[in-house]
Chains A and B, each alone.
Chain A
């Protein structure tokens, strides 16, 4: 838009400048030729009137038909005569005087005199006489000045008009672009039903139709992916349910089995659980990928929740709670799943938790879960929250080592609620996972 206005300004300024220059040349030429004509006529007259040693040259000069803007000066027999006191040899430039008097040829010159433009025309009359006439060009100056001013005004007006047209045109041209931008932003934010209005201009309608069909394709693809995840989940869940129940029935009769069969049953049970967690994490994380995640906030007592989850995982550590009221607004299911995954990670890789704490602060609520396992090296500290990272277990599938979706999901679950997870080193060895979520109090 600015470019358009500047372009308008350049065009109108250039046009004005040309107009001005052309008008000035034309007017100056006109003025000069009429001045030369007038001077010529007066010179002829003087030539006939002027006698050698005329006694009253000044009176003769005054009888000439000169407008008030012109003054006549005569060089006669070695003396200067002028129509006024100001009109003397000093009023004429030296070059002009010498050109006319000494070189005996007609000449003219434009110059500044007491701050105004003047034109002097000199015509030799005889060997001893010369006639000069000085024309004021101040009229011309003021005409040109007025012209210049009105041209500048026109340029400014032109600039403003082009600014206005530019703004209007830009808005009109950019409106569809803005709409596309807004629609694209809405789609990125997960509102897959955002579409452009395909009515209106022919060309814009084509753009809108193209955009809409692209989004349709995208939406179908995302929905297909999400449906695929859901279909897979259903297909995997049925056999998993059967496996769970079958293992439960066998575990009730574990004492009837011999040592080998009992061990095999335990392994089977562990693997079924692992498979179960894997499917659960995979489904949950695929929902993030499909962009179909909605946070579900409610007031939850985080101390009670953490206590319950520790008991569920048979972690006999005392929970240290600081802060008066532990009820904050969170997504309960997701926080519970995040905590379960961190606890499970500690059980699998570090032999279980050694300490647990909940601190509810003004701004942040932190849940710390500490283990005395092998710890996590500095360069692995961030990588463990990426998908399929495996930490130390990488490459040597130890008992129940996860495929590394669990902690990535923890990070996603916390991020969804504006929280974070970090892992600190513990002396002499071990890790402390700290889940931090903003302390939002229920409305009361």
Chain B
């Protein structure tokens, strides 16, 4: 069965052509021209992936991401029309998994969506339980517990944590993580990793400012301490 994608975009022409492209790639597409409409659609009919433009009338894309995150770990791709990274980082902090910039190439957008859906489907995960101090990861159930309390992670956060946790102590460069977690062959954006690491820390660490589990290795990347 074709995966259904929710496309929230207020520009009619962009929305229509993007739908045509996604349909060509074999996805079912639901369209919404505002965040409110999109959230209502998602409520009735959860989709496999959501594409959200950051600049929307009334409720903007950031708000929309936060609202979606409250009810679901669905993969979200945000679309930014601005050149500055500030916008993108804010979108990622609001809960997005990945982003594309306008004018995006159809190829690029479908590649992002495909990578997210593949990750969401899982596969290739180790099955044994991993313990990191007071944090316990059960990969095949997709569950993380901290002092026996379940921690709610998005699929991308979970994959990022598993990727590093399977080799505790090993340093992962941002390039490697972009490659293995997001599926960028090269030239991905390191901020994608940084914001997700930040989000992981907010959820896992007692004090995100002085992390004990997810450690920054200055100038090299990140590691998970055993």
**Which residues of the partner chain B approach A252 to less than 8 Å between Cβ atoms?**
24
Interface centre among B20, B103, B189, B220 (most CB of A within 10 A): B103
Q: Which residue of B has the minimal Cβ distance to A340? A: B187
Interface status of A336 (Cβ within 8 A of chain B): yes
CA distance A234 to B80 in the complex (A): 9
Task: Report how far A184 CA is from B82 CA in the complex, Å.
Answer: 30
> Which residue on chain A has the smallest CB distance to residue B106?
A248
Distance to closest chain A CB from B219 (angstroms)? 4
Contact status B220-A332, CB under 8 Å = no
Residues of B within 8 A of A284 (CB): 83
Q: Restricting to B6-37, which residues have a CB under 8 Å from any CB of A? A: 11, 13-14, 17-18, 20-21, 24
Contact check, B102 vs A299: say whether CB atoms are below 8 A apart.
no
Is A3 at the interface (CB under 8 A from chain B)? no
Give the contacts of B71-130 with A (CB-CB under 8 A): 81-85, 102-107
Number of interface residues of B (CB under 8 A): 32
Q: Cβ of A91 < 8 Å from any Cβ of B?
A: no
Q: Contact between A233 and B83 (Cβ–Cβ < 8 Å)? A: yes
Contact B190 A443 (CB under 8 A): no
CB distance from A296 to the nearest CB of B (A): 8
> B102–A237 contact, CB under 8 A?
yes
Q: Write the nearest CB–CB distance from A303 to chain B, whole angstroms.
A: 11
Interface size on A, residues (CB 8 A): 39
- A109 touches B (CB below 8 Å): no
Q: What is the total of A-B residue contacts with beta carbons within 8 Å? A: 97
| Residue of B with least CB distance to A337 | B187
Interface string of A295-321 (1 = CB under 8 A from B): 010111100110111000000000000
Of A242, A243, A245, A332, most B-chain CB atoms within 10 Å: A245
- Binary interface profile of A, 213-236, with partner B (CB < 8 Å = 1, else 0)? 000000000000000001001100
B26 shortest CB reach to chain A, Å: 12
Question: Is B69 located at the chain interface by the 8 A CB criterion?
Answer: no
Chain A nearest CB, measured from B28 CB (Å): 17
B181-226 contacts to A (CB < 8 Å): 185-187, 189-190, 218-221
Nearest opposing residue in chain B for A272, CB measure: B103
Q: Known: A283-B83, A329-B219. Contact between A299 and B173, CB under 8 A?
A: yes
Could you say which of B13, B103, B187, B190 contacts A309, with CB atoms under 8 Å apart?
B187
CB <8 Å contact, B187 and A276 = no
Per-position 1/0 for B28-60, Cβ under 8 A of A: 000000000000000000000000000100000
A176 CA to B221 CA in the complex, in Å? Answer: 46
Question: CB distance A249 to B17 under 8 Å?
Answer: yes
Alpha-carbon separation in the docked complex, A309 to B85 (Å):
22
For the complex, what is the distance from the CA of A230 to the CA of B107, rounded to whole Å? 25
Contact of A287 among B83, B103, B104, B221 (CB under 8 A): B83
Contact A241 to B103, CB < 8 A, known contacts A249-B24, A443-B218, A444-B219: yes
Chain A residues near B63 (CB, 8 Å)? none
Distance in Å: Cβ of A275 to nearest Cβ of chain B: 9
Main secondary structure of the interface of A (DSSP, over half): helix
A47 proximal to B (CB < 8 A): no
0 or 1 for each of A432-444: is its CB under 8 Å from B? (1 = yes): 0000000000111
Q: Is the C-beta of B66 less than 8 angstroms from some C-beta in chain A?
A: no
**Alpha-carbon distance A246/B20, docked complex (angstroms):** 8
Residues of B within 8 A of A301 (CB): 175
Asked whether, in the complex, the Cβ of B24 is within 8 Å of the Cβ of A304, the reply is: no
* Minimum C-beta distance from B74 to chain A (A): 23
* A245 contacts B219, C-beta separation under 8 Å: no
User: B102 to A240, Cβ gap below 8 A?
Assistant: yes
B187 touches A299 (CB 8 A): no
Chain B nearest Cβ from A439, distance in angstroms: 14
* CB <8 Å contact, B186 and A245: no
Q: Which residues of A contact B103 (CB under 8 A)?
A: 237-238, 240-241, 243-244, 276, 279
**Structural contact, B24 and A298, CB atoms closer than 8 A:** no
B175-A241 in contact (CB<8A): no
Q: Could you say which residues of chain A place their CB within 8 Å of the CB of B55?
A: 234
Does any Cβ of A come within 8 Å of B131's Cβ? no
- Tell me which residues across on chain B come within 8 A of A279, comparing CB atoms: 103
Q: At the interface, yes or no: B146 with Cβ under 8 Å from chain A?
A: no
Selected contact of A245 from candidates B17, B85, B187, B220, CB within 8 Å: B17
Q: A233: which B residues are within 8 A, CB to CB?
A: 81-83
On whether A245 and B21 interact (CB within 8 A), knowing A237-B81, A443-B218, the answer reads yes
Task: Decide if A103 is an interface residue (CB 8 Å cutoff).
Answer: no
Known contacts A238-B102, A304-B175; A299 and B21 CB within 8 A of each other: no
Max chain B C-beta neighbours (<10 A), residue from A230, A242, A243, A300: A242
Contact assessment for B17 and A246 in the assembled complex, using a CB-CB cutoff below 8 Å: yes
Find chain A residues with CB under 8 A from B105 CB.
244, 248
Task: Report A176-200 residues with CB < 8 Å from chain B CB.
Answer: none
CA distance A276 to B108 in the complex (A): 14
Nearest A residue to B189, CB-CB: A333
- Are the CB atoms of B220 and A444 closer together than 8 Å? yes
Nearest residue (CB) in A for B104 is A241
Are A332 and B106 in touch, CB under 8 angstroms?
A: no
Cβ–Cβ contact B83 & A230, under 8 A: yes
Do the beta carbons of B18 and A245 come within 8 Å of each other? yes
Query: How far, in whole Å, are A80 and B201 apart by their CA atoms in the complex?
Result: 121
Interface residues of B (CB under 8 A from A): 11, 13-14, 17-18, 20-21, 24, 55, 81-85, 102-107, 173-175, 185-187, 189-190, 218-221
Shortest Cβ-Cβ A-B pairs, 4 listed: A308-B186, A245-B17, A240-B103, A443-B219
A243-B103, A298-B190 given. 20 additional CB < 8 A pairs? Answer: A234-B102, A238-B81, A238-B102, A241-B102, A242-B14, A242-B17, A248-B24, A248-B106, A249-B20, A276-B103, A299-B175, A299-B220, A300-B175, A305-B187, A307-B186, A309-B187, A336-B187, A442-B219, A444-B219, A444-B220
5 contacts between A and B (CB under 8 A): A238-B81, A241-B11, A248-B106, A249-B106, A442-B219
